[in-house]
Amino acid sequence: MGFDFCSFSSGSNGNCYLIKTEDAAILIDAGISGKRVWEGLQHTDTNPETLRALLITHEHSDHIGGLASVMKKGTGLKVYANKETWRAIGPAANAIAEERIHHFVTGDCFTVGDISVKTFAVSHDAAEPVGYTLRCQGRQISVVTDTGCVNAEITEEIRDANLLVLESNHDEDMLKYGKYPHFLKKRVLGDAGHLSNIAAGGVILDLLTYERKKRRVLLAHLSRENNFPEMAMQTIRNILEEHGYHTGADVYLETVPRSEIGLLYAI
């Protein structure tokens, strides 16, 4: 039984991830157009009729900008969000029929086809942002982006992930000395902002310290202005090597593209 992940887009220009089995396909976020989503489905040989759920992390436009068009194209699709996020989405939410909406309480578990989904709180300046863990036949994919910090509760949720999609948004020095206005720098650097390369490295180190098993970590939501893939990768490699861990041997580490369809990973 396949259990696959693909990023269709990851960054401030739009976010959308695909998780699928032969039985069911799930999208996390719809920050890109329905047209681009369907191009991603075609690229990954995903039958659109298996697309069952759209899971929303939070209401910022780079995560819900394509909500209406994705729901229009996916006639059998249901959208999942907690009530605070749904209220914060506003007009785009009002256009969707009630029977196509599933409200959950953060912390809830539910199933979509043969995939079990667990929701958990993250720390971001949104109404009630969440991350997701998806499981199928003993395998686990966890998605944690748009969070200014990773606390013990989040670590508990992601520690068994075979594949972890983890925010590595910015290099702190690039951000501090870059062109962003002061208020935006303060927002990004705060506990309700975005995870830095150094913070992401600390998360991965904690996971390896907990259990030295092979994991694949995909660094996501990289800032176009304050980061680049080589910087993120090298910063995290340095943190791990200082503690005796090595990419390729102890963890598979890669970045996902900002605006293009990424690789399809089989878990």
Q: Are 237 and 255 in contact (CB under 8 A)?
A: no
Q: Please give the pLDDT value at position 134.
A: 98
Q: Please give the pLDDT value at position 19.
A: 98
Q: Please give the pLDDT value at position 7.
A: 98
Token pair 């098993």 in the structure block, residue: 213
What pLDDT digit, counting tens, does each position of 23-40 carry?
999 999 999 999 999 999
Ramachandran region, residue 126 (left: φ > 0; alpha: ψ -120 to 50; beta: rest): beta
The total number of structural domains that make up the chain: 1
Q: Are 171 and 235 in contact (CB under 8 A)?
A: yes
Q: What CATH number does residue 168 fall under? A: 3.60.15.10
Residues of the chain with pLDDT under 50: none
Q: How far is CA 1 from the centre of its chain?
A: 23
Q: Please give the pLDDT value at position 18.
A: 98
| pTM of full prediction above 0.75 | yes
User: What does the longest C-alpha to C-alpha distance in the chain come to?
Assistant: 53
CA distance 4 to 264: 7
Domain containing residue 230 = 4-266
Q: Please give the pLDDT value at position 91.
A: 87
Measuring CA to CA, which residue among 119, 114, 109 is closest to residue 58? 119
Q: Which residues pair with 254 in a beta bridge?
A: 218
